[in-house]
Amino acid sequence: MARTLESQPEAATHWSTRDMAKACGLSQSSISRIWRAFSLAPHRAESFKLSRDPLFIQKVRDIVGLYLDPPDRALVLCVDEKSQIQALDRTAPQLSLRPGQIERRTHDDVRHGTTSLFAALDTKSGELIVGVRASTFFPGKCPGDLLEAWIIPASTPQPYAVDGTAPKFSS
């Protein structure tokens, strides 16, 4: 275990079970069991980025404070988006699974452009507001559900506007 955590093989970026087994004189399955027992996965890596903004801590406190203790009569939404989702369709229908035959589908598809998915959580009520917006599409080929606009509940304080992908409140 110490060798896994504290060293790196000569000609590789991380240990494999085979390389570690050779280096330690154990079997590959023994190395695999040890790694599993200690939740070690040298082949996996995660990345992170620290903000260089000198006001980052203050901004985080302001946002969290807004969620925890919003001003009177304020609507606080936590909004996120997943943009540039490809709207694809198969060129032929999928053939279903049957006894003795696996599910089959064509390898090619027809592009219908891209779309963006938006979600806003009302932090007070827990209501989730969802919207889908067509970003680009090919005329006559865009499925109708991609053109659905933001759904804004009647209880939302006015005035309210959506400008491109940026929701705006004006006071």
- Please give the average per-residue pLDDT across 104-112, as a whole number: 83
The amino acid at residue 146 is L
Query: Higher pLDDT residue, 30 or 2?
Result: 30
User: When comparing pLDDT for 11 and 169, which is higher?
Assistant: 11
- Tell me which of 120 and 140 has the higher pLDDT: 120
Q: What six digits make up the tokens of 26?
A: 């154990």
Tokens of 121: 């959580």
Res 158 pLDDT > 70 = no
pLDDT at 168: 46
**In what helix (H) or strand (E) does residue 78 lie, and over which residues does it extend?**
strand 77-90
Q: Is 37 exposed, middle or buried (0-12, 13-18, 19+ CB in 10 A)?
A: exposed
- The arithmetic mean of pLDDT across residues 16-21, rounded, is 93
Cα angle 132, 138, 143; round to 5: 45
Flag whether the pTM goes above 0.85.
no
Q: How much of the chain is helix, strand and coil, in % rounded to 5?
A: 25, 30, 50
Q: Bigger pLDDT: 43 or 133?
A: 43
% of the chain with per-residue pLDDT over 70: 77
